[in-house]
Structure 1
Amino acid sequence: MKKVYIYLFFVGWLFWGCDSVTDLQPQQNINVAIPQAAVNAVRHAYPEATKVRFSTIEKDKIFQSDFEIKVEKMSAIVNYLGVISEMYKQTGEIDLPEIIKKYIETNYSGATYGDICQQVNKDGQIEGYKVRIKGKDAKEITLIFDATGTLILSIADDRGMKPPGMKPQKIYFIDKSELPQAITDYLVSKHGEYKCIKIAVIVEADTKGYSVVISKDFTTYDYLFDEKGNVLKSSSFGVNAPSDRIEDKPLNINDLSSKIKNYLDKEFKGWQFERGLSFSQNNVIQIYNILITYDKKQYSIQFDGEGNYIKKEEIGNNGMEKAVIQMIQPKDLPSIITNYLASKHTDFKYIQSSIVTTKDKKTYWITILSKNITFDYTFDNQGNFINVKEITMKFPDNKINDKPLDPKDIPSKAKEYLDINFKGWVFQKGFIAYAENKVLGYMIAIKVGNDYYYINFDENARFISARKG
């Protein structure tokens, strides 16, 4: 057996020796130099690899090598110094743990699977999973899970419907020490001491973003920063996160109920759907906020969770019928605008960002959500503030409360789920969410070994979601 291994090792090195660095590059990267240190690192780690190719994730810094070992498709992330930081084996849906399938089925109903990979270590042991899915709105989302199948972070491709040939986002992971100082300073000022769970760098063309998940006091905090350290998105999950927190999800036209469509057909004949968001409390939709174009104007229209009309607001600039609206990403906004918004709003999310061009001028039109209020901003071509319109979200009056969960009150169905998926779990803390004496769900913090997990169940103790903390 030892002789066979030596033979395979020799053949592998012979194969590698026949390839130049250029030969190992895919055609689209023919003018991008792959450092010899990166090539040598993959050669040494995988001497039996065949069909080896390199591609650039971040120019002159991070590279991906795709190859095959026997019949298995593999990939590795390697830097310019030859350090391999991530290793993956391409698999399929059948190889995913049931907890992952259940999470996707519950939280992304109707989504289709794309690339599925197992993250492995040098000994071939599974360390986690990377799953790319496409939602009903055609938006692509990359989900990162640990070895138990618990979600660590999710990264949405917010560029909308991509034109043919447009490449997906490129993602790699870094350590806490590699974060830009502006992001580190923000997290320290906001949370003091915290535990860093995962940091992903998201590369699109020549720009970068940082998806950061941290944990403190039985709660995970999920941030998306641009290169300048501006917060583009933020959310929290866990026992000490607000039980009545508002969560938003994108809508497409097929998500609208017939009741909403019938109202729009009656009041805005010939309306055109632009985009929409649903806002939920404890997974119960409370508000639909829909942006439509009608009669060469745009309106933001709100409906309650039952599809009943609440109110409308005309948004954007006057004279929009003569304007050209170009959608852009928040990262493409001038720093004077992002700094202005950050100074006015501690936490907020971008709903849309646009450049509005008329015959004689150009303005920036930005809509954000902060503390259940939609702010519709207009800035001039230099990024100077012009005006803002506030649109308050109207939510039901009934307050969602929570009370501490005693371990003996954990539903048997929830215990059974934890026993199967988190063997050896130890209860840490929890609460029961309720409104008007009606149970809405359970949030439970557990410890497995040295790791903490926060699991969310519905009122019938059925699994909804879990996060590593």
Structure 2
Amino acid sequence: MMAFYKKHIQTKNSPQNIGKMKPILYSLLTILSLQSCDKVVDETPPVLPPTIPQATTEVFKLSYPNVSSFVFKPLEQDKTWQTDFVTPAGKVFSLVDYQGEIIDLNELVGTPKSLPIAIKQHFLNNYPSSQIVMFYDVMKSPTVTDGYKLVIQTDKNTNLNLYYDVNNNFVREEIQPNEKVSAIVFTSTDQINFDASIPTVIKQFLSNNQLKSASVIIYNLADKSYKIVLNFREKLNGALQTSEILLSDAGQILQWVSSIENEYSYKILPKTNLPTEINTYLATNLPNWQFDYGVSETIFGNNKTNFVTVKIGQNDSYLIVDEEIKKNDLILVRTQALAENYLPETVKTALTNSFNNWTFVKANVIYEPYRQSLSQIVTNVNHFQIEVKQGTDRYAVRLASDGNILYKYRIL
């Protein structure tokens, strides 16, 4: 049904985002086009457990062809599942529904560790309208922790760094600096000593601390300091391990942090517990709605994001996303059933090129996500989900808005 998820990525050209996983909204089309390109995948799926719809597993199998094992845990019966798996780039934790739409996707980075109760309580008491972005160990050496750094985002979209000592006592707050970059270098710990352009103080830091087997990104900052981001090849429980170091031009360690894995959790959100914002929107804009399913996501037990799907008659449905920090600005994704005569010619041509003498069974168009504050419905297409018949076989086909086939499989 939906074509929406919240994907966490590293932004290479933004130093304040390196080493943390920042939530950004992406369409499903983006990840599929990057990973599958024009390749046509194997159309013969494996035998699946009867309790998990084929569409639910196929979206992962075909989107991540190099992954051999996916773990599905049911949430709401026959409606939603949480999924975790390990890719060559690290660990993924995701939410998927019965129609094979990835609703939420998180790439996990860092060491698994709980948020200390004292730090969590300080955050809740003093920043009740903020959300956690990332949690770090502040390092004294590669193996010795000197405290903690909690990155939060306020309801005014300001990022703050909160620092705590090793006993979880609050130390200070600072606005996350807007760092200006004069140059970026991509290298590795294996190659760095052969590159004459790398400052000696950086080479010396890596050597003194015996930091090896990592990719290295070096930012030359406008204030003459250096930011070094290390992504280690050896993963911990499947998760990518990262460190971020700020060095002065004289080689003094100004800050050294290592990522702690964000602790995500999903749980069922029943119709009776829908947030006021969603109920108000539905009553005003979609009065004839029928509840399909609801799921709440939290990070370290906070930052609640609610995903609710409703049906409007036989042909329309909506995914409504309510981020706790952004009241009264819901995100919506509309899905609409399409008759064959409404399919674009580019889509029909793609189907004809892939399936001789195909016949139409059913189709849905999924539109791009939009915010409630836009005060208008977005009609830009994200992708099509179509079922066709060829002889006695039925096929599910996902196509981009331009008609390019993202993947297809034979329906069991």
TM-score, length-scaled by structure 2: 0.31
- Give the structure, 1 or 2, with the largest relative contact order (CA under 8 Å, sep 6 or more): 2
TM-score, length-scaled by structure 1: 0.28
